Chains A and B, each alone.
Chain A
Amino acid sequence: EVQLLDSGGGLVQPGGSLRLSCAVSGFTFSTSGMSWVRQAPGKGLEWVSTISGNGGHTYHADSVKGRFTISRDNSRNTLYMQMTSLRADDTAVYYCAKVHASGWYDGFDFWGQGTLVTVSS
């Protein structure tokens, strides 16, 4: 059974940092692209970042570029998102998601339960 377990969210002050984690099981992590998607309270979905299976290729939305870094540890079956210089508009539920097994362009077939990040003083 495929499982993705998001963690690491919490309350942080503006300008602060936080690291999210996503522990996975039930599939071959090292060959699977992974992504982070966020959802601000009452708003729609926003793609944030994607990383290839071997970690050699990473992509970030313009809204987080230079502040957030996606990474992975294939030996630990864990995806990360290092977030720095956090702003109020980064407040959201952050979901990790697995790129579809059938192909890089086929969407996200499994999702974590989400972890809430609140940026506030």
Chain B
Amino acid sequence: IQLTQSPSSLSASVGDRVTITCRASQVVSSYLAWYQQKPGRAPKLLIYAVSTLQSGVPSRFAGSESGTDFTLTISSLQPEDIATYYCQQLNGYPPWTFGQGTKVEIK
């Protein structure tokens, strides 16, 4: 299963609403997770099962789906949200592929 993220990078202002899309090449049911990775750090799980917020993650992060398209939304971008974001599908047995990443920068 291939995952295609768009855009590959974006620049937005503090307080903006930011949307990242992840399109799957096949049905992945509800087995889709989102991660945040800051430079030089390990990835951090933000959302699993499409829309369930991981414990401790701010409520400005949200996930949704429409068919094979999945969306990560940051409702109000904060300076600490500067990172690269990855989606991952976990449908059935591995391989559990990642998207290629979306780099978010502050304008």
Contacts and interface: CB of A to CB of B under 8 A. Distances in A.
Interface residues of B, number: 26
A109 B101 contact: no
A106 B90 contact: yes
Interface in B70-107: 84, 86, 88, 90-91, 93-101
A61 interface: yes
Contacts of B99: 44
Size bracket, chain A contacts? 20 to 34
A47 B95 contact: yes
B42 A113 contact: yes
Give the interface SS of chain B, mostly helix, strand, loop or mixed: loop
Given A44-B100, A50-B94, A106 B43 contact: no
B96 A109 contact: no
Interface in B38-56: 42-45, 48-49, 52, 54
A100 B43 contact: no
B48 A45 contact: no
A59 B93 contact: yes
Contacts of B33: 106-108
B42 A47 contact: no
B63 to A, nearest CB: 11
A108 B45 contact: yes
Interface string A21-52: 00000000000000101000000111101100
B61 interface: no
